[in-house]
Structure 1
């Protein structure tokens, strides 16, 4: 492991490499779990053999006993070791261990259905160069344990009930406060908490649209949004995404001719291109929408990673002309599944009814955990570190991608994504994606982000996962 300290426990057949650097990709617990699991898998330690005690392992590795205990408990949960009273921890029988899942490629090759299901398994590919989230090690600044321990002391009397239809009041108030900092005229009555931004998108589509309605989306477009709109059987019109935001000439022509009901747009750090709308472009988009009374649905899930001066349409036009969608998967954790909708009161009343009909309340536990994290002073420091680190990584990955012959659409110097064209024939994109997956590398080709499923040499790259030798070797061989 690069930058790691190798520690050998000769009496136990273990040689572990621990990366202690501040910006490490994996937590100390994860490194211990992976190292011991590898030793078991390679039969360097055998079934029935005793592991070092928690105290012994902590002393050898110069780590806390709490870290060692967490790693051992995770290995117990995985069925790889067992706890024996009076004997400590031993390697479990092989029959109790399940082989790690292997990357599964559909017979027809990777497709949008695979992207929306199989890829979310943590073990489908070790190098997730096309995924949409940060590595766990990048989220070490979040005090999950403290938030959950605090909740365990305060929620014992509430475990027998549901959450609130609109979501936890303290979190709604905090979201409104954060939006107000950007200039959005929001209060607690403007915010509905959802089970992630994906549910927020689903609720807005159910509320706004019926089959046959005309809707404008960006090209390329966030793949989950695209698939959900297809399910709604609406008529989709596409406006090209540009480095400055949208092609407003095309948007103006589409709006004048088709009178669409809504425009779905990302203002900051668009998925998949990583671009953000400039202030002049934001004004143009709002003027076009205002002239035709076209509603804007602003998908703003990456706002926490965006530069402070990135325009927010809801702040510029208010919550009547704009429905604003946000979430915390990019900055806290996608596991918590907490998102929100900010809109005018009448719209929220309709949306909360839909929320209750389709899924009842969202999780009060995760909502309260997110609130605890947001009000912690460490959270703002965490965001600053993420933004600075992503800016540095962007510079490195942009340089290396260009050296590998990849044409970059834009250099955002922030957020997760770069949009680049590989030096291949577009017709080869599906085969290249399948070949990469067989080598443990997940790529996200442009066809996933297009309604036409047209072959494309454009790919989405997550800069936080790209800097590995195996990834660069794969690109250099194209």
Structure 2
């Protein structure tokens, strides 16, 4: 049978429709749904995205069974479900064809977020952290002192509290930053320091192009509210960050998932989606991607920018993990010079999650619009914390702290890898950065529920897909996955 959760492959010599119809899909015998239901669901997703165009012929039952490694009866059951949904039609002695109109479930319909509250996934309103909001609630309200392998940040004992205390004391001693509103665009001192910091990664922006925010997530929200209207299509990495999927869906956007590979997005799928849907944005984590840890290659970055120009969409580059990554890795914004791109980053992943200081850099023509949206949503700027971050940048204390964290992470990563592999997990992508993307061989939604009951926060694979699907994958945080007792609990939750 095809590999579990295998990436969808496109034939470079075929049109997108036939290639997608024939490629093996990600079916899992260990999932909580039948193979027929999984096959029907994934074909329906491709039809709604117009990756299978109206009029396209599906493979014959026998051919689909051979390609998917399943029985013909499974394929018949899947095609029957697509017929019942009105997505395909059967033509006597010719086979099954994608219907030309799918009504409310058609290509223009919003794509539901996997596991989101809006989509009514498991965990919505429940206790298990199986959706975006539930995962965040669990991070904020830990049940005990157990390490959290599903955590999205560094553990507290990796952070430098004296550094933070010294920076705040210095700012308070210098003036009245805590007593008045800050500058709407952000503290001028911080924006000057950020321009210098960004230049180290090849991103050239003057301080007037930089707007601060209450964290990188807020910066992404400002961009979406300023540049998008409900119903607009947005390209996103798949797998990708569940909070971004949920946030965009809540704003009424249509998500267009692009499979993420070792070097970056699947360019053939991106081209098809761009041609069919005319997206307004592509939102991506190009360096130390969450959850795979991959980084964009230079060649892929160049091709993404060519597609953005050809199809007239902007690229939002979320460089949240910049402090953990080598400065030489390709940034889309550096190649583009902030013409069609916008750059986002923050300090939650390196200083402390509690200091909500993020920022964006944009083309000059967009800055006033972005500042207006920021002011309407948050009024002004927290100058005290912004000047404290500026102090950390100016004095080099943040750089030295980041170097220590990277050294510690480099030591933790192989230990976590050895433990994961010793307990039957396989890394789908080469381990890098903060996160590992592992195949457990079992439905990780079920595993997450069992482990949650035992007090362990994990991040099952279905959270990282824009449309809900069963998954045997799991994201682990290398900094919090080094304890043998977690892996013992992991073994106990299996089967």
Question: Do Structure 1 and Structure 2 share a fold, with TM-score over 0.5?
Answer: yes
> Are positions 1:238 and 2:257 aligned together?
yes
For the structure 1 residues 458 and 161, does the alpha-carbon distance in structure 2 shift closer, same or farther, using more than 3 Å as the test? same
> 1:461 aligns to what SS in structure 2?
strand
Is the CA contact (8 Å cut-off) linking 1:105 and 1:434 kept in structure 2? no
TM-score by length of 1: 0.74
- Asked if 1 retains the 8 angstrom alpha-carbon contact of 2:348 and 2:354, the reply is yes
Superimposed CA distance per residue, residues 437-459 of structure 1 (whole angstroms, 9 cap, x where no aligned partner): 12221001112222222221111
1: distance between equivalents of 2:178 and 2:411?
Answer: 44
1: CA distance, partners of 2:161 / 2:396: 11
CA distance in 2 between counterparts of 1:240 and 1:260 reads 16
Aligned equivalent of 2:487: 472
Q: List aligned pairs for 1:33-432, cutoff 5 A.
A: 107=126, 109-112=128-131, 113-123=133-143, 126-140=146-160, 143-155=163-175, 157-413=176-432, 415-424=433-442, 426=443, 429-432=444-447
Secondary structure of residue in 2 paired with 1:298: strand
Change over 3 Å in CA distance of 1:475–1:247 after alignment to 2: same
Report the Cα offset of residue 353 of structure 1: 0.6
Which of 407, 413, 433 is equivalent to 2:448? 433
Q: CA deviation at 1:469?
A: 2.1
* Distance of 2:480 and 2:445 partners within structure 1: 21
Q: How far apart are residue 107 of structure 1 and its match?
A: 4.3
- Secondary structure of the equivalent of 1:245? coil
Q: Which runs of 4+ in 1 moved over 3 A?
A: 104-110, 122-125, 157-160
Aligned counterparts of 1:147 and 1:451: Cα–Cα separation in 2: 40
What's the secondary structure of 2:256's corresponding residue? Answer: strand
Following TM superposition, by how much is the alpha carbon of 1:432 offset from its aligned partner in structure 2, in angstroms?
1.6
Looking at structure 2, the residues matched to 403 and 240 of structure 1 have their Cα atoms a distance apart, in angstroms, of 29
The number of residue pairs the alignment matches comes to: 370
CA contact (8 A) 1:192 1:352 kept: yes
- How far the C-alpha of 1:132 sits from its partner, in A, is 0.6
Q: Deviations over 1:134-172 (max 9, x none)?
A: 0122123861121111122123x3443211101110100
Once the 2 structures are TM-superposed, how far is the Cα of residue 110 of structure 1 from its aligned partner? Answer: 3.2
Would you say the 8 A contact 2:216–2:346 is kept in 1? yes
Q: What is the CA–CA distance in structure 2 between the aligned matches of 1:228 and 1:419, rounded to whole Å?
A: 23
Decide whether aligned partners of structure 1 residues 311 and 274 sit closer, same or farther in structure 2, where only a CA change above 3 A counts.
Answer: same
CA distance in 2, matches of 1:472, 1:108: 22
Deviations 1:372-398 (A, max 9, x none): 111122322222222222122222212
Secondary structure in 2 aligned to 1:256? helix
Q: Does structure 2 retain, via aligned residues, the 8 Å contact 1:327–1:338? A: yes
Partners of 1:284 and 1:389 lie apart in 2 by: 35
Segments of 5+ residues of structure 2 without an aligned counterpart are 1-122
Higher relative contact order (CA 8 A, sep 6+): 2
**8 Å CA contact 1:176, 1:186 repeated in 2:** yes
Q: Which moved more, 1:136-145 or 1:367-376?
A: 136-145
Name structure 1 gaps, 5 residues minimum.
1-103
Aligned residues: CA RMSD? 1.9
